[in-house]
Structure 1
Amino acid sequence: MNYKTTRLNGYPLKFHPIFKERLWGGQKLKTVLKKEITGDTIGESWELSAVEDNVSIVSNGPWKGQSLQALIEMYGEDLLGAHVYRTFGNSFPILIKFIDAKKDLSIQLHPNDDLARERHDSFGKTEMWHVMQADEEAELIIGFNKDVTQEEYREHLDNNTLSNILNYEQVTKGDTFFINVGKVHAIGAGVLLAEIQQTSDITYRIYDWNRKDKDGNTRELHTELALDAIDYKKKDDFRVSYPKAVNSPNEMVTCPYFITNYLVVEGVLHLDHSDKDSFVIYMCVEGSCKILANDVEEVLDTGETLLIPATLKNIEIQGDHAQLLEVHL
């Protein structure tokens, strides 16, 4: 096959996950999501990524072994959609992950587009979380529990009392959260979740529980960089309520960076994406289903992700109470 001249043969694309060892990682990516990991502290599975040095590789079909970036550069709007390609060029705009927090993550935040572009030549990092499993009394940190000034924040940081002004949210399976840029946050111990975010790996770590890595070193903090990036207001704008109608896309999050719907598939669901000038991503967060398109059938199990090229408009999903996140621009 001549990759440079053949039009993208639209079929559901699956990719090899990219595993990330983290100080706070555990074993749920293996025990719950059945991923083939070998380390004891694998905290992240990057499912769909075009981040430099972390580009996803196709695992199925005629394009097996090709990178996502190579396909974008060869097929542009056929893969991404004309509107997406005009906006982002050869940059894939979304990063998809599953995250297992055996221990608390650091308290952190992400800069907005302007700051990220100015300081790091990067996108900002708006993101959302969908909880797939949570241990009893597991929590997330999202925002402040009151309005604070920069001076108050700095005083608590210096006095090691930052937790006194943070907002804690107990979570259970199915809870969903939208995390705006500038909002301080942390995934707590015992939470397994799906994360959808802008393509960016820019994180400002502001507190790390005074812990050390296996070599006895503390991790870098970004105290000064964070000061102008933090939203110091208390805002209850993060918990997402969404319907759960069967065999119909249920709106979860709509923002300039991604649109996410929740799907519960019972039996057969036919979907027409002719109204979208975008690729579509499916993340299976519970159960199993079959996705059929262009006479190609792919099984999507819990913890797996699949990319539908923009040229592929009609698909069929078969499942028995399979639960999916549908993501597009």
Structure 2
Amino acid sequence: MVGEFDLIKQYFKPLAGDEGLSLLDDAACVSPEAGKDLIISKDVLVSGVHFFRDDDPCDIAKKSLAVNLSDLAAKGAVPRYYVLGLSLPQTISSDWLSSFANGLKDMQDACGISLIGGDTTKSPTDTITISVTVFGAAKRGRMIKRSGAKVGDDIYVTGHIGLAAFGLLVRQGKVSSDDRSLLERYLRPQVRYELGPKLIGVASASADISDGLLADIGHICAASGVGAKISLPDIPISESVKAISKSYPKYSSLLWSGGDDYEIIFTANRTMRQAISNLSNDFNTLITRVGHITSEKSVLLIQENGDVIDTPEKGYMHF
């Protein structure tokens, strides 16, 4: 592998915007936008935990940015910049780095962001660690927080739930499926970065689904001091996921506890139903009402007959 500064010059300098000062300085220089708040989020991805060591480095790069951009989307922020930290083993090849940089560029071009700085270090093991911090802009005082949900609000999710969790099972060889969208969604999360900012003024609270549907509505409820009832029959599930969960019932809990979907889960006053329907049409994105906020401080999953489903597994936890 080339030296640290040659590595930066060859692979990452081409990704830098003006604010990054061509990655020749020890810091970036960003001018805040008038009338906007700066929204910041950070995620760390580690090989063997968040991705497989032998995954395509282009996909790894895209996922590293996507999981961070998803946080901005859930806050109603428009993405602007990011900084990148890498801890790489000595054995990383130039081909790996080139593919990784290409993946970053693809995501940058898609959502209009640029690299403004970062750091690279040598890993003492074969583990790859990727740290990304993203910066976005939202109308001043209008960021969609987790803490805004009110009793009686509807609960919505974008897209289909469980694709990534069942895609991971495919990647692990635990289940088989001819539906490529499962593995695609696990490897390449689809971020709602265009829809997210349009939820300002519509959503009362929001989060992205990274840990699992019940876990992430639980985060909203904890911050808002409320509870939730989620209707299992209303959760939007693809036909492939339904088929796998039927064939492998031991994995059925992933429908509500599986992570890595990176869809948006949000709450909204009932008066917003038509506005949300309009957004669904405008962005050609499935947005499904799956439950409502309650005064009881618990998150319940309800069957079609009204019975409560026992859900000891609500989502992924690192510790």
User: Shorter-chain TM-score: what band?
Assistant: under 0.3
TM-score by length of 1: 0.24
Q: Which has the higher contact order (CA 8 A, sep 6+)?
A: 2
